[in-house]
Chain A
Amino acid sequence: MRSGLALLVVVLLAGLMMAGVSQLPPPGAPDSAVHGHVAATYIDGGAEAGGAPNLVTAVLLNYRAFDTYGEVVVIFAALIAVLAVGLAGRPIRSPRQAPTVPVSPVVDQVVRLLAPFIALFALFMILEGHVLPGGGFQGGVVLGTLIILLGLVLSPRRLRHLLPHKAVFWIRSAAVLTFACTALTGLALTGWLFALPEPHWLGESVIVGLELAIGIGSAFAVAGFFLSLEADRHR
């Protein structure tokens, strides 16, 4: 009875969604509404005014900078919530603690071998994000995954040596702080929040700096979830 009702709801909702989707213009149609108004302006002068040849970056970091700032803050807030939960109460003791299996030598060697290349690719994605597809967030997540991989392979002591506690504390908030600074410098130099300063090269370097900050911030947010769980286990 209940599963029949659930099926009915799902079919109804799916039908509604399909009806909605069928009314959308075909993808890439030049005369559809989304391409008529702002998009045309972005494509015409976005690369020049937005400070980045990759239009997606120009929209994310300039035209829609407020939205991106909100996203950065949300990720930061999630990290703070995880850290707060991790610090509260006693360390977790699972009822049957699984014996720690040593990492297989194959995994160990492959991670050690690939780590510099992954790091290089992540940096490339972050620094070239304003020209090519990719950007601070994507590169940052790759960097964060690399930190998690290293955390699995290296001993906790070695990892703590690589990422000193004091540095991590500030790096975690790098994205939010840099974004706020950009907003304020824009206000001071041009009178608009998030506006890019003239001349063009200065605006472009602000974009690159923002990408770098977002990359490092999201890397440490992603790795922070893992690191706080790990710290909990070794407490």
Chain B
Amino acid sequence: MSPNELFDLLILALLIVCALAIARTKDLAAAVILFSVYSFALCLLWVHRGAPDVAMTEAAVGAGVTAVLFFYTLTRTGRREK
């Protein structure tokens, strides 16, 4: 296996772990942070696959602004899932 493929596989494994953790956690703040981690890993994958434009969108929207908006919403509701 080439180092390139290994990198992709590592990122994909991280994505799956993040997705499962988001679904399982009851702490919504942790879920938002995991969403950010997920987007950032995906952003690395886009860069690695030669799509810097998509990667920048992913970093700005996925890891950046949605996390901020989610957090702001959490301050208005509650941190625990019921």
**Contact residues in A for B56 (Cβ distance below 8 Å):** 125, 133-134, 138
B61 at the interface (CB under 8 A from A): yes
**Measured CA separation A144–B60 after assembly (Å):** 10
Inter-subunit contact A138/B60 (CB<8 Å)? yes
A46 at the interface (CB under 8 A from B): no
Inter-subunit contact A135/B76 (CB<8 Å)? no
Inter-subunit contact A141/B60 (CB<8 Å)? yes
A222 at the interface (CB under 8 A from B): yes
Inter-subunit contact A94/B60 (CB<8 Å)? no
Closest residue on chain B to residue A142 by CB atoms: B60
Inter-subunit contact A226/B72 (CB<8 Å)? yes
Question: What's the least CB distance linking B58 to chain A, in Å?
Answer: 9
A145 at the interface (CB under 8 A from B): yes
Name B's interface SS: helix
**Contact residues in B for A28 (Cβ distance below 8 Å):** 50
B6 at the interface (CB under 8 A from A): no
Question: What's the least CB distance linking B14 to chain A, in Å?
Answer: 18
Interface residues of A (CB under 8 A from B): 27-28, 54, 56, 92, 94, 98, 125, 133-135, 137-138, 141-142, 144-145, 148-149, 222, 225-226, 229, 233
B1 at the interface (CB under 8 A from A): no
Task: Show 16 A/B contacts (Cβ-Cβ < 8 Å), sorted by A.
Answer: A94-B77, A98-B75, A125-B56, A133-B53, A137-B57, A138-B53, A138-B56, A141-B57, A144-B65, A145-B64, A148-B65, A148-B69, A222-B65, A226-B69, A226-B72, A233-B76
Query: Given known contacts A94-B77, A226-B72, is B53 in contact with A145 (CB within 8 Å)?
Result: no
Q: Choose one: A98, A134, A141; the contact of B65 (CB below 8 Å).
A: A141
Inter-subunit contact B53/A56 (CB<8 Å)? yes
**Measured CA separation A133–B47 after assembly (Å):** 11
Inter-subunit contact A145/B77 (CB<8 Å)? no
**Measured CA separation A207–B29 after assembly (Å):** 40
Q: Which 9 A-B pairs have the closest CB atoms?
A: A133-B52, A141-B60, A56-B53, A138-B56, A145-B65, A133-B53, A138-B60, A134-B56, A145-B64
Inter-subunit contact A229/B76 (CB<8 Å)? yes
Interface string of B57-81 (1 = CB under 8 A from A): 1001100110011001101110000
Q: Choose one: A56, A125, A135, A148; the contact of B68 (CB below 8 Å).
A: A148
Question: What's the least CB distance linking A145 to chain B, in Å?
Answer: 5
**Measured CA separation A27–B77 after assembly (Å):** 44
Inter-subunit contact B69/A225 (CB<8 Å)? yes
Inter-subunit contact B49/A27 (CB<8 Å)? yes
Inter-subunit contact B76/A138 (CB<8 Å)? no
Query: Given known contacts A135-B53, A137-B57, is B72 in contact with A229 (CB within 8 Å)?
Result: yes
* Other 11 A-B pairs with CB < 8 A, given A137-B57, A144-B65, A225-B69: A27-B49, A133-B52, A133-B53, A134-B56, A138-B60, A141-B60, A142-B60, A145-B68, A226-B68, A229-B72, A229-B73
Question: What's the least CB distance linking A94 to chain B, in Å?
Answer: 6
